[in-house]
Amino acid sequence: MKFNNPITVGDLAKKVNGKVIGNSATLITGLNEIHRVEKGDVTFCDNSKYIKAAINSAASVILINEACEAPKGKSLIVVQKPFQTFSDLSKELRGDYHSTASVDPSAKVGSTTRLFPGVVIGKGVTIGEHCIIHPNVTIYDGCTIGNNVIIHSGTVIGADAFYYQRTPNGYNKLHSSGTVRIDDNVEIGAGCTIDRGVTSETMIGAGTKIDNMVQIGHDTVIGRNCLFASQVGIAGVVTVEDDVILWGQVGVQKDLTIGKGAVVLGQSGLAKSLEGGITYFGSPVREAREKMKELALIKQLPDIIRELRG
């Protein structure tokens, strides 16, 4: 997420009552959580396990709760609660998105697009031409929908990311200030949920088709011409390359990549990245033919045991 105007590290430190370690004149141009940071961004780290990842990331500035030496080319801002400070900044950047109108006056909807009864469209939404938005679809503020997109009844686009910090007193929520972008010629089934990015975009590539009851987590990037069957669940910060097929009830863990042209058969569970151009099956997932052989061998185990016992 980019600032309207760049701000120096020193000015940001004053704003959040923090102490600068490093160059206070460095310009900050954006705000992003660790998985989507770019040069010029500020990110946060409040757990010693992730300090190395934060320092080695592309971020120019890190909100941190422990004073340490600033790496070359980076600045640190020491604050008491980096998670909360980052969340407050994110909330401020997103601004007020409350609206009482079914279709907010600030939304831009193509003249050839059809909106059915019960559709709710938030502030700053852009919808292209020749789209069909079926009854009771909700599109939260700031989302962008391309041309020739079909969204079926009951789908929610742009709900908050499922992103919490666990504390002894419960869970602190990281405010979601990102958005969702859906490219041209996408069709999304009924009852789907596509969460907004935490500070970046959740993206659905052109030509992708999504069945009913599919969940796509925050900051996930879906490529072009993918096909997802019903009850697929994809966690946050996943990259799905072009032409991937996920059949029914496939579950995908966070922060991994599925290569171009991969096919994952129904009820499989993905815990690591997959190479493209291969068909997979199982939980944990393996190349489908090898997994089928393994299951066939497992079925023979009772007979083998009986033979060994004589």
Q: Which residues contact 133 (CB under 8 A, 6 or more apart)?
A: 113, 114, 115, 116, 119, 127, 139, 151
- Selected catalytic residue, list 134, 152, 175, 218: 218
CA quadruple 237, 8, 72, 76: dihedral, nearest 10: -70
For residue 175, what are its two tokens?
A: 């405010």
Give CA–CA dist 263/36, Å, rounded.
26
Alpha carbon 35 to its chain's center? 10
CB 113 within 8 A of CB 95: no
Q: Is residue 223 within 8 Å of residue 201, measured between CB atoms? A: no
Classify residue 248 by its DSSP letter: T
35 catalytically annotated: no
Of 86, 95, 97, nearest to 28 by C-alpha is 86
Please identify which residue in the block is written with the tokens 């910090």. 165
Backbone Cα Rg of the chain: 23
As a whole number of angstroms, the distance between CA 276 and CA 258 comes to: 7
CB 189 within 8 A of CB 230: yes
Q: Which two tokens stand for residue 226?
A: 């993918």
Which amino acid type is present at position 85?
A: T
Judged by phi (left if over 0) then psi (alpha if -120 to 50, else beta), residue 254 lies in beta
Q: Hey, which residues are catalytic here?
A: 218
